[in-house]
Amino acid sequence: MSRITTNEQRLWDSLMAMGEIGGTEKGGCCRLALTDLDQQARDLFVSWCKEAGCTIRIDQMGNVFARRAGRNNALPPVLMGSHIDTQPTGGKFDGVYGVLAGLEVIRSLNDHGIETEAPVEAAIWTNEEGSRFPPAMVASGVFAGVFDLEYGLSRADLDGKTIGEELARIGYAGDQPVGKPVKAYFEAHIEQGPILEAEETTIGVVTDAQGQRWYELTITGQEAHAGPTPMLRRKDALVGSARVVDRVNQIGLEHGPLACSTVGLMQVFPNSRNVIPGEVFFTVDLRHPDDSVLSEMDAKFRAYCDQMASELGLELQLEEIWYSPPVPFAEDCVSSVRQAAQALGYSHRDIVSGAGHDACYVARVAPTGMIFVPCEDGISHNELERAKAEDLAAGCNVLLSAVLNQAC
């Protein structure tokens, strides 16, 4: 039974059809969480799942669960999933591959007339990216008890619209409680890095995920005329911010090769060409798979921010808005993935995820494993994101085998 495979063309066609919702001119996808485009994508997924004979459950965070019944539906399900929201300049595979790989597993079980002992489910997690509503992975975080429901629903975008309001607007404010027993959870994903492609390896057996710390900073100086104000009398918030940006980059380099440090969003006020910036808001993202090293990076970052503000006479507000510790995945699930890759004859290697995934939170309440497949040049969160149909199918075949190992 473990050698049964999925339908490569059907999986690819589903990905391409979903990619048309929010498709961009460069071949990528812009489908921000809880927009009208997100609603359209959810509707399409639900319709496909119903056609496959699944029942649909939507919880209060808008997480969608499509269930294929088993012989014993009193058992907790074996769950597969990921997300369908994207970055503003995202691709067609990040996240949505894990969702549609889960659907393809269900379709393939139907094709082969296989009845599992436990039910099998495919899931969409709300707002994994955190691009519109920070922090990332907030709905799977509520599922895992990391955040409470009120916190999750109250997260707001830059226009002040909340997750709760937008879920209601698009018709995905479910009435089911958030959280439930899960026998095992598997998430298939493109690697979002260059290792598998460079090593010509088909399957990444994910053993751990990096820890992350997200910050929001506001640096305040004094706006003034760019001409009459002498350089030594300025309180330029953007100069202070630029120094922090450079130091953030240095901290990542100092703790290489596994560390990552990024400033990804910046807003300058008043943002006028002949006015010295009086206020800058920006974000910082620090990552490392070793929590002690991540803590050291955090300490260096905070110390430099204080030093910069003192030297330049600027005011500083710094808030850590999200901390996700390094995650070791369950050995039983990791072994299921590794054994499936081996049985199916795919080249494979153990790998650590440099990105955050819903699996990182689900791992707190259920045995969890992840499957990586290569992506071209390791590019993700980019419209140029590419993956080969045969690699995506290979990951889906491993997913099917791992699910059967847990559900039968």
Q: Where are the domains of the chain?
A: 8-210+326-407, 211-324
CATH of domain 211-324: 3.30.70.360
Model confidence at 119: pLDDT above 90: yes
* Number of Cβ atoms within 10 Å of the Cβ of 88: 15
pLDDT score, position 149: 98
Residues 145-174: tens digit of each pLDDT: 999 999 999 999 999 999 999 999 999 999
Residue 67, classified by CB atoms within 10 Å of its CB into exposed (0-12), middle (13-18) or buried (19+), is buried
d(CA 277, CA 138): 33
Longest pairwise C-alpha distance within the chain:
79
Residues 228-262: tens digit of each pLDDT: 999 999 999 999 999 999 999 999 999 998 899 99
pLDDT score, position 354: 82
Residues 48-83: tens digit of each pLDDT: 999 999 999 999 999 999 999 999 999 999 999 999
Percent of the chain with pLDDT over 70: 100
* 8-210+326-407 homologous superfamily: Zn peptidases (3.40.630.10)
Residues 334-387: tens digit of each pLDDT: 999 999 999 999 999 999 998 889 999 999 999 999 999 999 999 999 999 999
Strands 348-353 and 203-209: parallel
Model confidence at 200: pLDDT above 60: yes
pLDDT-derived band at 1, boundaries 50, 70, 90:
very low
pLDDT-derived band at 44, boundaries 50, 70, 90:
very high
